[in-house]
């Protein structure tokens, strides 16, 4: 499922030439915790309310933050699985979607992503999403798939993406798995020294150590 299919055009962007005061007003009136900054149609970054509140001159322009803008984004052809680390680590409610020329296309809302993955999980009769730090010189996709299959799991979707963390040199492998033995699969992968960064569990499965898992459901707004 590509990000393109979930684009939202309801929320505004701001211009690099807009004032801090105007930008804050737009964010507050639309209940946003981050907003994309454009130079004409070109996306140049995101700015948060916290950054704007630190401005010394409310009438000053956004271009004073040009070298500090947050660079979280997703390309329109990417799978929505690739957005999970960005949402989790940034705390943003929306992530901008850009094309290959970095032109702004719209926002990808967290609620749309979460609901899609949540209901897909239930339709798949339980399972979850596992995010793996994929050591390319050591790990093997075929070995990971075999471990999952041996524990009665089925990989329904997979995505390899660059890590969102600056101190991570390895890419991240994101897997959506259909299974009713989710915690067993996680433990088996760990026994084989597969580095699991995070796991999201769907459905009503066996009890697992909740300190190790963030349920995707907790991110949904009822």
Same-domain status, 199 and 137: yes
Neighbours of 207 (CB within 10 A): 6
* pLDDT (mean) for 56-76: 90
Q: Which residues contact 9 (CB under 8 A, 6 or more apart)?
A: 106, 107
Asked if residue 88 belongs to a domain, the reply is: yes
Supply the mean pLDDT for the chain: 82
CATH number at residue 177: 3.30.70.260
Same domain (yes/no): 86, 43: yes
Q: Is the pTM of this model over 0.75?
A: no
Q: Three-state SS string across 29-70, please?
A: HCCCCEEEEEECCEEEEEEEHHHHHCCCCCCCEHHHHCCCCE
Is residue 197 within 8 Å of 172, Cβ to Cβ? yes
In a domain, 118, yes or no: no
Confidence of residue 91 (pLDDT cuts 50, 70, 90): confident
pLDDT score, position 82: 77
Domain boundary among 79, 110, 141: 110
| Whether 88 and 174 share a structural domain | no
Listed residues 44, 76, 110: the one ending a domain: 110
Give dist(CA 65, CA 55) in Å, integer: 9
pLDDT at 146 over 90: yes
Domain boundary among 60, 81, 110: 110
Within-domain flag for 116: no
Are 101 and 7 in the same domain?
yes
Local structure of 172: helix, strand or coil: strand
Answer whether 33's CB lies under 8 Å from 55's CB. Answer: no
> How far is the C-alpha of 94 from the C-alpha of 198, rounded, in Å?
20
Domain that holds residue 157: 124-219
Q: What is the pLDDT of residues 155-198, one digit of tens each?
A: 988 888 776 555 557 788 888 888 888 889 999 999 999 998 88
Give pLDDT, residue 218: 45
Whether 152 and 208 share a structural domain: yes
Specify if 115 maps to a domain: no
Residue 53 lies in a domain: yes
Residues 16 and 101 in one domain: yes
Structure token pair of residue 210: 């909740």
Number of domains in the chain: 2
Q: Domain check: are 104 and 138 in the same one?
A: no
Same domain for 100 and 147?
no
CATH number at residue 47: 3.10.580.10
- Quick one: which H or E segment has residue 109? strand 104-109
157: CB partners within 8 A, 6+ apart: 79, 81, 175, 176
The verdict on 148 and 94 lying in the same domain is no
- Check: CB of residue 161 under 8 Å from CB of residue 197: no
């Amino acid at each position: 499922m590509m990000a393109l299919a979930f684009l939202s055009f309801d929320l505004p962007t701001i211009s690099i030439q807009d004032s801090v005061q105007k930008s804050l007003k737009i964010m507050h009136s639309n209940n946003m915790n981050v907003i994309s900054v454009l130079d004409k149609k070109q996306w140049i970054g995101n700015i948060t309310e916290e950054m704007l509140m630190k401005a010394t001159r409310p009438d000053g322009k956004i271009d004073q933050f040009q070298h500090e803008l947050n660079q979280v984004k997703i390309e329109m052809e990417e799978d929505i699985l690739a957005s999970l680390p960005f949402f989790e680590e940034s705390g943003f409610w929306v992530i901008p979607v850009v094309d290959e020329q970095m032109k702004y296309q719209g926002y990808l809302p967290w609620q749309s992503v979460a609901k899609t993955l949540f209901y897909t999980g239930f339709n798949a009769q339980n399972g979850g999403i596992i995010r793996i730090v994929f050591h390319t010189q050591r790990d093997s996709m075929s070995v990971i798939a075999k471990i999952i299959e041996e524990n009665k799991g089925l990989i329904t979707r997979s995505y390899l993406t660059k890590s969102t963390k600056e101190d991570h040199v390895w890419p991240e492998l994101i897997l959506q798995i259909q299974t009713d033995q989710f915690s067993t699969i996680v433990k088996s992968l760990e026994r084989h020294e597969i580095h699991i960064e995070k796991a999201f569990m769907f459905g009503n499965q066996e009890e697992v150590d909740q300190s190790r898992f963030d349920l995707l459901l907790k991110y949904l707004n009822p």
